[in-house]
């Protein structure tokens, strides 16, 4: 504690606040959008957000203090997006069972030391093509939100574009947060905030009993594990390594597995090492003091998780266009990166097949399209792009 109090400072507190607001705005809007798609109740959403923030906040504080690095854990956004279509033909208990099984798999891989090997073996273009196919609906929902509620969504888009263009201003007010603030202002001005007489109350998170079915395990476990260990954690490793840190890859995989098993029982999707938040925390200041910003983000996450029923009720009182626009803007850069990686070099045909199958959203043998996209994309690439594998 003495070391922490000595190392913490205003700069790291500011970075922590910006990073937390980023995590608590657009990504939470993604959870609400997925929950609406899957027909989840308000209490289910509040419990999900409790697990995503409170439990992962505890893990983040422990890792930041132990390793003296900004190692913040949240939830897998691609994994959350996978859940929406799955809830259309699977029960919530079966999906939670898949979360538990994914956690067991990730913890086992972390303990075995094979995570680095598995990360290197997965053809990133094909994986990112699956991610692009899953995320595409958020981009189209953004366009639809502008069409359906121009007064709310259009100013948010304009604010995002302006702050992305004005680099100096964008450093102080990140584009996504600016869009969030402008959206709230528009909602208030046009009188579209509707609480419908509901009170703001606190409640305990739900506890769920998982159900295990082969259908859910086959459909979700492999895509969830890949999105965490390869896509999300890989992004986090990249930004931290670029800042001079040396993240403990296998220990992080074990933490993601253990965290996923715990958060599953309150209905939250798999735990992962976050890329954007850790990038903000390590963007400025002395490298040896970056961990203090991670601890502060973890502390803010604890508060947000405890108050999750209040925040969920407030966000659900916002118009649908606000949530759709915020979620779409949050996914915009990720979608751009996914397309760039998927179609920028090797495995191009396999990536295209993966993308098309995922976007088609066709369920085969009651197993969702994301899994079949990976299987068919890898199969086509193995037969027709063998030279890419040999390299």
Q: Can you give 148-215 as a three-state secondary structure string?
A: HCHHHHHHHHHHHHHHHHCHHHHHHCCHHHHHHHHHHHHHHHCCCCCCCCCCCCCCCCCCCCCCCCHH
Predicted TM-score of the model (pTM): 0.74
Quick: pLDDT tens for 198-249.
555 666 888 999 999 998 998 899 889 888 887 788 778 867 877 788 889 8
What is the chain's length?
391
| Backbone φ, ψ for residue 243 (5° rounding) | -85, 0
What pLDDT was estimated at residue 208? 94
Strand partners of residue 73: 273
What pLDDT was estimated at residue 159? 92
What pLDDT was estimated at residue 252? 94
Residues 6+ apart with CB under 8 A from 68: 288, 291
- The owner of tokens 């993308």 is 355
The answer on pLDDT for 98 being more than 90 is: yes
User: Using CA atoms, how far apart are residues 221 and 108, in angstroms rounded to an integer?
Assistant: 13
Mean pLDDT value across residues 89-99: 92
What is the separation, in whole angstroms, between the first and last Cα of the chain? 49
Residues 6+ apart with CB under 8 A from 387: none
**Lowest-confidence range among 46-50, 312-316, 337-341?**
312-316
Q: Please, are residues 271 and 51 in contact by the beta-carbon 8 Å criterion? A: no
Q: Please, are residues 127 and 352 in contact by the beta-carbon 8 Å criterion? A: no
Quick one: CA torsion of 154, 157, 161, 164, rounded to 10 degrees?
150
Quick: pLDDT tens for 101-158.
999 999 999 898 777 776 667 787 887 887 788 778 778 888 999 998 899 999 999 9
Segments making up each domain of the chain, as ranges:
2-193+208-390
CA nearest to 381, candidates 363, 365, 362, 357: 357
What pLDDT was estimated at residue 197? 54
User: Using CA atoms, how far apart are residues 63 and 68, in angstroms rounded to an integer?
Assistant: 8
Quick: pLDDT tens for 169-194.
877 777 878 888 899 899 888 887 77
What pLDDT was estimated at residue 199? 59
């Amino acid at each position: 504690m003495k070391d922490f109090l000595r190392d913490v400072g205003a700069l790291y507190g500011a970075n922590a606040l910006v990073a937390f607001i980023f995590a608590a705005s657009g990504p939470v809007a993604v959870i609400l959008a997925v929950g609406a798609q899957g027909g989840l109740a308000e209490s289910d959403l509040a419990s999900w957000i409790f697990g995503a923030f409170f439990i992962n906040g505890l893990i983040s504080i422990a890792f930041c203090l132990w390793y003296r690095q900004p190692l913040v854990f949240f939830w897998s956004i691609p994994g959350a997006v996978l859940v929406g279509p799955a809830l259309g033909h699977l029960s919530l208990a079966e999906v939670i069972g898949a979360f538990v099984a994914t956690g067991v798999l990730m913890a086992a891989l972390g303990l075995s030391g094979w995570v680095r090997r598995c990360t290197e073996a997965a053809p990133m273009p094909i994986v990112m093509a699956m991610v692009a196919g899953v995320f595409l609906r958020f981009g189209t929902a953004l366009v639809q939100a502008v069409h359906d509620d121009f007064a709310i969504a259009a100013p948010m888009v304009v604010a995002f574009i302006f702050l992305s263009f004005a680099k100096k201003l964008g450093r102080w007010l990140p584009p996504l947060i600016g869009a969030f603030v402008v959206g709230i202002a528009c909602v208030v001005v046009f009188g579209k905030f509707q609480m419908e007489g509901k009170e703001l109350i606190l409640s305990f998170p739900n506890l769920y009993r998982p159900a295990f079915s082969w259908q859910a395990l086959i459909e979700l476990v492999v895509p969830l594990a890949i999105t965490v260990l390869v896509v999300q954690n890989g992004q986090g490793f990249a930004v931290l390594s670029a800042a001079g840190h040396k993240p403990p890859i296998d220990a992080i995989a074990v933490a993601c597995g253990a965290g996923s098993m715990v958060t599953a029982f309150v209905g939250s999707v798999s735990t992962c090492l976050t890329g954007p938040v850790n990038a903000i925390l390590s963007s400025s200041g002395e490298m040896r003091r970056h961990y203090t910003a991670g601890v502060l983000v973890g502390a803010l996450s604890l508060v947000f998780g405890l108050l999750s029923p209040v925040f969920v009720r407030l966000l659900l009182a916002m118009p649908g266009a606000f949530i759709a626009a915020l979620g779409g803007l949050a996914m915009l850069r990720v979608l751009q990166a996914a397309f760039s990686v998927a179609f920028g070099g090797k495995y191009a045909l396999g990536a295209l097949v993966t993308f098309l199958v995922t976007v088609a959203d066709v369920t085969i043998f009651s197993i969702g399209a994301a899994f079949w996209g990976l299987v068919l994309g890898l199969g086509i690439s193995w037969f027709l792009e063998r030279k890419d594998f040999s390299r």
